[in-house]
Copies of this chain bind each other. A is one copy, B any other.
């Protein structure tokens, strides 16, 4: 494709995307394709001869667009609602063209240093001390795995060289989360060889926050049993209910017990930009590490996860390793991003965060986040005011968990679960709204997560109306 064709197709694509970003509401949020339909509509082999760009775009629209679930739709309320904002999309386009691979400083001084600069900006916006050094990973799952590897490195002598197996001097290890902890912690302990049983899930209180007394008991019991406590992973904004673990008390315990504290603020961390929510990161200044995801609630196209660490030397001690062909002669203060992790290659991810922070400015970003929190409060007030609905968790951020529970009728818990499950399917079938579920203390819960930059009250209202309208049908058809 020469420059002339690139311009032609590029300009057409800009128009397609502009239309898409503006009118994403014309699509059903949740894709309606049947499993296997997309694969069946495409050939088994790559073409031998090149095809015109227009033909590819036509197939994209015909075959793939119906198979998209529109994360960009303002009625997307499932999981965590995210936004690939316009300035971020343009910056990611530029990043793809530059094709920087920032393993070493010299392979992209711009990507290496802009990463430090933008992570410095974000750190100050959320009130984290300058002692935290930042690095960008693709996902919070990878960031968390690095945190647990660092914790293991700090806790077990010789683990980098000798590993964990066949050593009589290394007992079983333990990592602590709550019963609301994200599955990435489970995957991390499995991957790094501590084993799934090494993750102890501490019970939570009626606000779904980790019980500090139960954590202290567990650590005590483990020590008595000869198990080695390694790390505690409190969460600021758990996935089910966005509950907040008591970080200051956990920080005290970690200091006393010499445990690594890794804070999973992948979702909730961004809210600390608001004066009203700065408290959600209380105690985090004493964390060893923290993850916060700009691709969740900072309008950044997927993927960009920010990892902050007060002891990045430990991460480097675990991973730094320079083969001959990557040795360079820059001064010692030069940072090579490959030293802070498993991945050697790294995209120029900071570019999109830089464009977004500059294009919106902190004030507008705070306003959007505050608006999402306000919309969630509004929805919660509708739930609370309706006699046939029951709220199942507090709403510290922008996620509301509740269920249909009609007054004046006695349904069993299994009947309520079935009715609410059916209700979600009916609402999602509308095409206007897509929400997910969770299960809280055994009860199936509707779960509305507000976070798209173009979500307005009318979208939340539409979801609520759909829920109310369909509730009766759900129990009838059950």
Contacts and interface: CB of A to CB of B under 8 A. Distances in A.
A201 to B, nearest CB: 12
The oligomer's copy count stands at: 2
Contacts of A240: 324-325
Given A31-B108, A240-B324, 8 more contacts: A6-B14, A31-B110, A39-B116, A64-B351, A72-B98, A72-B99, A140-B345, A187-B342
Contacts of A16: 94
Contacts of A326: 79, 183
A84 B122 CA distance: 29
Given A39-B117, A45-B121, A239 B93 contact: no
A183 B170 CA distance: 26
A68 B324 contact: no
B330 A35 contact: yes
Interface stretch (A154-162, A257-265, A387-395, A403-411): A154-162
B51 A343 contact: no
A395 to B, nearest CB: 16
Contacts of A188: 342
A432 interface: no
Interface stretch (A277-285, A315-323, A463-471): A315-323
Contact of A89 (B86, B97, B107, B192): B97
Given A191-B342, A193-B192, A79 B96 contact: no
A266 B407 CA distance: 61
Nearest to A436: B325
8 contacts: A13-B90, A31-B109, A53-B359, A60-B94, A165-B167, A190-B318, A295-B345, A302-B345
Contacts of A90: 6, 9-10, 13, 53
B160 A165 contact: no
Contacts of A345: 138-141, 295, 302-303
A274 to B, nearest CB: 14
A318 B166 CA distance: 21
Contact of A11 (B11, B92, B152, B166): B11
B110 A447 contact: no
A50 B364 contact: yes
A209 interface: no
Contacts of A78: 107
Contact of A166 (B42, B92, B170, B361): B170
A65 to B, nearest CB: 7
A243 interface: no
Contacts of A51: 358-359, 361
Interface string A166-203: 11001111000000001110111111111111100000
A82 interface: yes
Contacts of A33: 109-110
A71 interface: yes
Contact of A360 (B50, B138, B182): B50
B35 A344 contact: no
A194 B20 CA distance: 48
- Kindly list the 10 A-B residue pairs having the minimum CB-CB distance in the complex, ordered from nearest: A193-B193, A163-B195, A67-B110, A84-B99, A10-B14, A92-B96, A166-B172, A50-B361, A1-B86, A93-B93
